Amino acid sequence: MLDIKYIRENSDIVKKAAENKLIQVDIDRLLEIDLLLRNKNQELDTLREERNKLSSSIPTLVDPEKKNTIEYVRTLKDKISALESEVAPLKEEFDNLMYEVPGVPFEEVPIGKTDEDNVEIKRVGKIPTFDFEIKDHVDLAESLDLVDIPRGVKVAGSRSYYLKNEAVLLEMALCRYVVDKLVKKGFTPMTVPTLVKEAPMYGTSYFPGGRDQAYAVTEDELYLVGTSEVALVSYHSNETFESEAELPKMYCGYSSCYRREAGTYGKDTRGLYRVHQFTKIEQVIMCKADFDEQYRLHDFLLNNAEEILQDLKIPYRVVKVCTGDMGIGQVRKHDIEAWMPSRGKYSETHSCSSFNDFQARRSNIKYKDQDGNTKYCYTLNNTAIASPRILIPLLELYQNADGSVNIPEVLVPYMGGMTKIEKKK
């Protein structure tokens, strides 16, 4: 969330950010409540101070002054109680509004409403041509006995699937290759809880706005995460790093992820592009509150994902994400879109985001700078790899005329030397 002081001093900027992000929030009402709360809390502080001072003096007094003072203290307590009753609903409304206030995008962020307004900044790799009629990833995977969607639907409903045989090995190979790559770059590998409490979902800004996308285990008041980012950022919630020398913290989280895909009925229903359960490795960084460092680390995260696609020889493009396609807390965002032949276009496989201190304020993650001042950290994240979506370009781009699929060279060592997936005899 934003600092309320910043909102007071820059209300027009915040209102414009909300408008550009297509977020409905009443900033004027927030500021009105803020002023009411400050006045009432100041009055409460004055009454409490007077009550405490008089209460401590009572043992030294004698009647009738003692009796009168006791009676007066009772009236003060009644006034305090009445004021606290007024403050409680105002504080609840204030907190709810604060959770709806968006982060302010950088000036470089294009203004737009949907992903159609995202701005391409580069393309890498040549889109291949085939001298045979290609199959999409579903036909390929079914013919090679790599996936079973009908039985997935039978067991778990729509957008469900089974990976089988070499597809399982391929997913494992991808994940291990990516983890090895990130560990060499200084990331700490982690497996994380995928069932979390409500607080981490609020802390990472997936709640309240994204509540409809999360699976809830209501009996235990837990939620299935859509990314290990939730658990990785929350790993340091309510903590203060004693020195900025401890930063940046760089984590790569390996986990299953879950998403309800609410609002996507009838969209991307064929195949493995939009599913309810997937495996993902996420990059997360916490750094000191420095715009230049955050900018550099954002590009570092983006470059890591680009390197992975380059190693896999998958053509891709990078886009600047527009305001309307950003999350509530994001201030700078790039998507990487891989070329998927069956879709005839580039489609999103990675999202790289910077948040300033938006998540850290919600999650209460701080550090002490060189002067001993306590500040909120900045946070960033980016996908490293997500499966089965990445299997779409891998299978389709590496297919052969006979229906077999080559293994990307970089993954051959992780596949036990296997170089090709062929039909079972």
**Within 13 A of 275's CA, how many CA atoms are on the CB side?**
25
In this structure, which amino acid lies at residue 332?
A: R
Q: Note the residue count of the chain.
A: 425
Torsion of CA 6, 8, 14, 16, to 10 degrees: -140
Residues 6+ apart with CB under 8 A from 87: 37, 40, 41, 44
Structure tokens at 123: 């393309």
Mapped onto helix, strand or coil, the DSSP state of residue 99 is: coil
Whether 65 is catalytic? no
Edge-to-edge strands of the sheet including 188-191? 119-124, 316-320, 332-340, 345-354, 378-387, 277-287, 249-258, 188-191
Whether 348 is catalytic? yes
Cis bond before residue 248 (omega within 30° of 0): yes
List the catalytic residue out of 51, 159, 332, 389: 389
Whether 351 is catalytic? yes
List the catalytic residue out of 342, 351, 353, 387: 351
E-assigned strands of 198-243? 216-217, 222-224, 239-241
- Tell me the DSSP string of 24-82: ---HHHHHHHHHHHHHHHHHHHHHHHHHHHHHHHGGG--TTHHHHHHHHHHHHHHHHHH
Whether 211 is catalytic? no
Measured between alpha carbons, how far is 266 from 257 in angstroms, rounded to an integer?
A: 21
Structure tokens at 335: 């998507």
Residues 6+ apart with CB under 8 A from 335: 115, 118, 318, 319, 321, 348, 350, 351, 352
CA distance from start to end of the chain: 58
Whether 389 is catalytic? yes
Q: Which of 319, 322, 312, 380 is nearest to 347 (CA)?
A: 319
Query: In the 8-state DSSP scheme, what is residue 288?
Result: -
Query: In the 8-state DSSP scheme, what is residue 242?
Result: S
List the catalytic residue out of 51, 159, 259, 343: 259
Q: Which residue has the tokens 């293994």?
A: 407
List the catalytic residue out of 19, 274, 293, 317: 274
- Supply the residues annotated as catalytic: 259, 274, 348, 351, 389
